Chains A and B, each alone.
Chain A
Amino acid sequence: MDFSLNNEQQMIQDSVSKFILNDYDFETRRKILESTTGFSQENWTLFAELGWLMLPFTEEDGGLGGSMVDLMLVMEEFGKGMVVEPFLATAVMSGGLIALAGNQTQKDDYLPRIMAGELQMAFAYAEPQSRYHLNNVKCIASEKNGEFVISGHKSVVLNGNHADTLIVSARTSGTTNDNNGISLFLVDANHPSVKREGYANVDGHQAADIWFDNTPTLELLGEQDNALPAISNIIDKATLAVCAEAVGAMQIANERTVEYAKTRKQFGRTIGTFQALQHRLVNMFIEHQQAKSILLMAVLKMDSNNGHDAKALSAAKSRIGKAANLVGREAVQLHGAIGMTDELDVGHIFKRLTTIQFLFGSTDAHTKRFASL
C-alpha cells in the first residue's frame, strides 16, 4: 500500500496548482464569469497546450493515461479555484463517452479535436421528469429514410450553450423507464431545429435547456438500444470528478474560515478564541478529511477495476455530499454577514458546494444506490 504520488502525478498536481495560484485568483474568475461566454477561451487553449485535456484519455486513444487518480488530481486543484471552464462537459463526459462507446472512425474524428481544445461538446441526458434516473428517457429518436431524427427536451445541459456538437441520449425502443432501448447520438448543436436557451448556473457554470424538434442526427454513437451501461459509467466518472472538486473547494473554505477566525475581532478578542467556534472549525476540518479519505477509496477501487465501481463511487458521493453541505453552510455562518456577500469567495465556494450536492444524483440518491448494490 502506498498513497504517495509518483513523479508524473506530482507534476500534474504541481502544474494545475501553479495555474490556480498564479492565473486563476478570485478576481480573474469574476472577470471570466462576467465575460460574454462565461468562460475563458484563452484558458481553454492553455489547458490543451499543457496536456490537461489529454489526461482523461488512454494512451491508446492518444491521451496521457486516463486514470481516476489523474482526474482526481486535476479536479481537486480545479476545486480550489472554482474553475468554470468546461473540462467536465467536453473532456470528461463527452470525450469520455466517445472513447468508451465510439468506433475507431469516431474516435479519430473527435478525440484529437477535443484534446487540442478545438471542439466544445456537451452531453444532454437529463430531462425535466428524469431527476437522477439515467434510464428514464422520453426523448425520442425515430427513423426517417434510414436516418434517425430526435425530438424532446433536455434539462440543464452543462456547456450546452457553447457546444459545437452534442451527445444526446434518446429512446430508440421501449418505454420511458426501460433499461434497454436507449441510444446515443451525435448532433450538430447549431442545426436550426435545435433550440437552446443558455444561462449561467448559480455556481457560475454555463448550461442550457435544449429542445429538439425532428432534429437530424450526425450519427449513432455506440450500440443501438444499449447505451445505458456507457451512460452510467460516464456519469459515475463525472461524479467522481465533482467529488474531487468538492474536496478541493472544502479545503479552501476551511482555510478561509480558520484565517478569518484568527483575524476577526469581536468582544476584544479574535473570534477563533471562542471554544464554541473552535469546535465548529474542527468539525469542518474532520468533514474535509473524511471526504478526502472516501474520495481516495473510490479512486483507488475504480482504478483497480477498469474505472468502474458503482458502489464505491456512490459511497464517495454520499459522504462528500454530506461534508460539502456542512462545510459550505458553516463557512458562511462563521464568517457572518460578510460571508453572504458576492465580493468574498467564501459565498461562491458555498454555492458550488451546494450544486455539487445535487449534480449527478443527490446525497440521498447515492446513499440509496449504495444500499442497493
Chain B
Amino acid sequence: MNLNFTAQEKDFQQEVHQFLQEKLPKNIAQKTKNSIHLSKKECIEWQQILHKQGWSAINWPVEHGGTGWTPTQKYIFANECAKAGGPDVIPFGLKMVAPVIYTFGNEEQKQRFLPDILASNVWWCQGYSEPGAGSDLASVRTTAVKEGDEYVVNGTKTWTTLGQHADWIFCLVRTGEPSAKNQEAISFLLINMNDPKITVSPIITIDGRHEVNEVHFDNARVPTENLIGVEGKGWTYAKVLLTHERTGIARVAISKDRLVQLKALAQISPDGDNKLIDDAIFAQKVAQVEIDLLALEYTELRTLSAISTGQAPGPESSILKIVGTQVIQAIDELYVEAAGYYSMPFVPDQFNDDFDGQSIGPDMATNSSLRYFNNRKASIYGGSNEIQTNIISKAVLGL
C-alpha cells in the first residue's frame, strides 16, 4: 500500500497537464470555472477535442475505443481537468448508454451506435423518470407494444436533462403483460428523437434555466432492432447503468477545485476592513467541508482500487453518491455565504458575450446562489439520497 505516483504516472500527469494547457479553449475553461453553462456547441467542441486525443471514453474497454487507463490514471485525469477548468463530458452517451450497449447490446448495435457516441456526433438523453415514477422507477408506465417489426411507444418521460439538444433517447419502457411483476415487464429501448410523434417540452427550474424537459411519445414507432438485449430484462441493464452513474457522481475532483477557489475567494472577499478568510467561523466551516472531502476522496479511492482488482462497483457506491452530493451542496452554500449581498442579484445574462449592461458584483459571487439552487438537484437525481440510504440499509447492512 502506498500513496505515491510512479514515474510513469507522473509522466502521465505531465502529459494531461500539457494537453489541457494547449487544447482546452480558454473561453470554455473560464466559463466552467465561473459556473456559467456551456452551449451545446461548446460541449461538443470540447468532447471532440478529447476524442481526437483518444480520451473521450475513459471507462470504455480498449476494443471499443476506451483509454484502458488504470484507476490511478483516471484519478489523475479528473483532477487535472478540474484544476484547468475542463468541463465534464455530457454523461448520457459516453458514460450511461454506452456501457449498456457494449455490455448487453448485440454486435450490430455496437457497430451502429458506439462510434458516434465516441466521437460525440450524436447527443443522447435519458428516458427513465416519469411523472408517476421517480424514486419508484420500476413503476414506469410508458408502453412499447410490438406491431410487426416495430414497437409503438406511448407515454411521458420527465426530468430529461438537456433533452432539447438530443438526437436519441434511451428509455425504460413497459413491454410485458400488464399483469407481470413491475420489474419483469421493463425493457431497454433506444429511440431516435427525429420523429414528429415525439415532442419535447421545457421545464424551467428555480435557477431560471431550461435544463430539463418532458418528452412525450404519441404512437412513436421504433424498430424492434433498437431493443437492447431481450424484452423484460431492461431493469437489470438499468441497474448496471445506475451503478455506473453513481461512481462518477461523487465528483471529488471538482469539489477539490471548487474548495481551492473558494479559499481564494475568501482571501480577497472583504469583510469590512478584514478579509472573509480571517473570520474564524467561516474558516472553520471551510475546514470542515475540506475534511469531509478528504475522507470522501479516500472512500472513492478505495472503491477504485477494488474495481482495479476486478471487483464490480457494489452498493458501496451509494456512499459516494450521498456524501459526494452533501459535499457539493455544502461548498455551494459557502460560496453563497462568501458572496454575501452579491449572492442576491439575478443577472444571469451578464456573462453572455452580447451583454451590454453593468456587471453586478465580483465574478465568482454572482452565480453563487444560482449554482446553489441548481445543485439542490444533486441529492434528488440519480436515485435520491433517501433511495441510496435504503440501498445501503438493504444491500449492505441486510436490514
A interface residue numbers (CB < 8 A to B): 126, 128-133, 135-136, 155-156, 176-177, 197, 199-203, 207, 209, 265-267, 271, 276-277, 329, 332-333, 336-337, 339-343, 347-348, 350-351, 354-355, 358-359, 362, 364, 367-368
Contact = CB atoms under 8 A, between A and B. Distances in A.
A342 B272 contact: no
A340 B376 contact: yes
B340 A132 contact: yes
B389 A276 contact: yes
A169 to B, nearest CB: 14
B204 A342 contact: yes
Interface in B341-383: 341-347, 357-358, 360-362, 369-370, 372-373, 376-377, 379-381
Given A333-B385, A340-B205, A347-B373, 10 more contacts: A130-B272, A135-B272, A199-B360, A202-B344, A202-B373, A337-B377, A340-B377, A342-B205, A364-B279, A364-B281
Nearest to A209: B360
Contacts of A135: 272
B7 interface: no
Nearest to A202: B346
A266 B136 contact: yes
Contact of B270 (A128, A276, A337, A355): A128
B134 interface: yes
B135 A336 contact: yes
B344 A355 contact: yes
Contacts of A203: 344
Given A276-B386, A341-B204, A131 B271 contact: yes
B386 A337 contact: no
Which of A177, A199, A343 has the largest count of B CB atoms less than 10 A from its CB? A199
Interface residues of B, number: 51
B356 to A, nearest CB: 12
B272 A177 contact: yes
Contacts of B386: 276-277
Contacts of A128: 270, 342, 361-362
Closest CB pairs A-B (n = 3): A347-B206, A129-B270, A133-B272
Interface string B183-213: 0000000000000000000011110100010
Interface of B: 129, 132-136, 139, 158-159, 203-206, 208, 212, 270-273, 276, 279, 281-282, 336-337, 340-347, 357-358, 360-362, 369-370, 372-373, 376-377, 379-381, 384-386, 389
Nearest to B370: A202
B230 to A, nearest CB: 26
B134 A337 contact: yes
Nearest to A133: B272
Contact of B380 (A129, A197, A267, A340): A340
B342 A155 contact: yes
Given A337-B134, A351-B373, A368 B281 contact: yes
A340 B129 CA distance: 15
Nearest to A354: B369
A199 B139 contact: no
B281 A131 contact: no
A129 B369 contact: no
A66 B369 CA distance: 34
Nearest to A130: B272
A139 B116 CA distance: 59
B376 A329 contact: yes
A201 B380 contact: no
A133 B271 contact: yes
Nearest to A332: B376
Most central of B134, B158, B380 by chain A CB within 10 Å:
B380
Contact of A266 (B135, B270, B336, B343): B135
B341 A126 contact: yes
A332 B282 CA distance: 25
